[in-house]
């Protein structure tokens, strides 16, 4: 029996199908740019242009005491360096950032280990400990400022009369504890994600080898938490170096300037009408953050590869 072949004629493309496949109508290509123009304009007006001008104003005499803006070179940087404000602000900001990063990551890691098990109880308290992240930092500062007043709830509860926010040595530490409490929920979530990503086979193998809880954590879990540690340490340091709200609400930079970080100093100088000096401090803060962040990220990335 002879084989028969049935040929089907291709259907002729209709008028609507004659366009090239994958080609979008002109309206679909061009209209989204028009829709984005308002957002681009707002971004340029309130973020891009001010940041670009921040590289120009530090080299001028811009202030409320001069009718015109004139170029003055490095005079503003010389002024803030000669009166000791620059070095004091750098030292206070770096110490604040270091302590805040330690407390934030310590609280977050501890909570992640305590609430690691996926139970209803733990899920509820994960949400409870994350709530401070959603609260305004300024509101958090005012709440703790009222709690730590000499006639506040803390002294009333302890029956003491301690000026918690009046020590030039310990006030900075106390404010960084508040900062760490405020953001510990975010670190907790990142560490929880890292802990959940550890393969169960590795934990079972460590248990079979006789490793206890501490040995398992230090030799298995801690090295595998390196990406989470990199993210949390970097964001905590950069975020705390740019802090303003909590310090302004709790101490306002006091006592005796012991908590006057960069942004508090800029706020005070700007309020005095010395806009160019405040801009100079802002530029110095930008350079300090870059100088700290780049080596930190590179070092933590290398640590991840070694582990």
Residues 229-261: tens digit of each pLDDT: 999 999 999 999 999 999 999 999 989 889 999
Spatial distance between the Cα atoms of 47 and 49, rounded to a whole number of angstroms: 6
Token representation of residue 234: 């970097």
Spatial distance between the Cα atoms of 202 and 206, rounded to a whole number of angstroms: 6
Residues 211-221: tens digit of each pLDDT: 888 888 888 89
CATH class of 92-258: mainly alpha
pLDDT surpasses 80 at 155: yes
HSE-CB for 54 with a 13 A CA cutoff: 17
pTM: 0.84
Residue 34: predicted pLDDT: 78
pLDDT surpasses 90 at 128: yes
Question: Under a CB-based contact definition with an 8 Å cutoff, are residues 198 and 220 in contact?
Answer: yes
What is the percentage of the chain residues whose pLDDT exceeds 70? 89
> Residue 141, SS3?
helix
Spatial distance between the Cα atoms of 57 and 37, rounded to a whole number of angstroms: 28
pLDDT surpasses 70 at 174: yes
Q: Is the dihedral of CA 238, 241, 242, 244 positive or negative?
A: positive
Residues 265-290: tens digit of each pLDDT: 999 999 999 999 999 999 999 999 99
| Mean pLDDT within 184-188 | 96
Spatial distance between the Cα atoms of 296 and 96, rounded to a whole number of angstroms: 17
Spatial distance between the Cα atoms of 193 and 187, rounded to a whole number of angstroms: 10
The secondary structure of the chain in percent helix, strand, coil, rounded to multiples of 5, reads 70, 0, 30
Residue 21: predicted pLDDT: 53
pLDDT range class, residue 200, cuts 50, 70, 90? confident
- Cα three-residue angle 268-273-276, rounded to 5 degrees: 90
| Mean pLDDT within 178-197 | 95
pLDDT surpasses 50 at 6: no
pLDDT surpasses 90 at 67: no
| Mean pLDDT within 108-115 | 95
Residue 137: predicted pLDDT: 94
How does the average pLDDT of the chain come out, rounded? 87
pLDDT range class, residue 20, cuts 50, 70, 90? low
| Mean pLDDT within 220-233 | 93
pLDDT surpasses 60 at 84: yes
Residue ranges of E strands in 176-299: none
Contacts of 77 (CB under 8 A, 6+ apart): 58, 86, 280, 284
pLDDT surpasses 90 at 42: yes
CA distances from 110 to 103, 115, 186 (A): 10, 9, 13
pLDDT range class, residue 7, cuts 50, 70, 90? very low
| Mean pLDDT within 2-15 | 48
Domain ranges for the chain, please list them. Answer: 92-258
Spatial distance between the Cα atoms of 291 and 97, rounded to a whole number of angstroms: 14
């Amino acid at each position: 029996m002879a084989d028969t072949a049935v040929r089907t004629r291709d259907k002729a493309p209709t008028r609507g199908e004659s366009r090239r496949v994958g080609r979008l109508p002109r309206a679909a290509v061009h209209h989204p740019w028009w829709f984005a123009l308002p957002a681009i304009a707002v971004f340029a007006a309130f973020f891009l242009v001010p940041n670009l001008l921040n590289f120009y104003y530090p080299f001028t005499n811009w202030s409320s005491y001069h009718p015109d803006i004139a170029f003055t070179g490095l005079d503003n940087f010389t002024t803030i360096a000669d009166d000791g404000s620059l070095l004091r602000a750098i030292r206070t900001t770096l110490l604040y950032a270091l302590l805040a990063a330690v407390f934030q990551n310590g609280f977050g890691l501890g909570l992640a280990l305590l609430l690691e098990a996926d139970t209803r109880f733990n899920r509820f308290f994960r949400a409870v400990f994350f709530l401070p992240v959603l609260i305004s930092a300024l509101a958090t500062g005012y709440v703790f400022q009222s709690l730590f007043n000499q006639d506040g709830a803390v002294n009333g509860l302890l029956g003491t009369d301690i000026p918690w926010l009046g020590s030039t040595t310990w006030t900075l530490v106390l404010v960084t504890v508040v900062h760490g409490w405020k953001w510990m929920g975010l670190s907790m979530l990142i560490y929880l994600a890292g802990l959940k990503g550890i393969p169960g086979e590795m934990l079972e193998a460590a248990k079979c080898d006789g490793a206890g809880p501490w040995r398992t954590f230090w030799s298995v879990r801690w090295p595998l938490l390196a990406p989470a540690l990199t993210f949390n340490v970097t964001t905590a340091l950069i975020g705390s170096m740019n802090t303003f709200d909590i310090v302004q609400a709790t101490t306002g930079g006091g006592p005796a300037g012991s908590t006057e970080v960069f942004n508090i100093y800029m706020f005070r100088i700007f309020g005095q009408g010395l806009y160019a000096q405040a801009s100079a401090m802002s530029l110095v803060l930008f350079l300090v953050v870059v100088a700290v962040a780049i080596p930190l990220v590179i070092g933590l990335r290398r640590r991840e590869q070694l582990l």
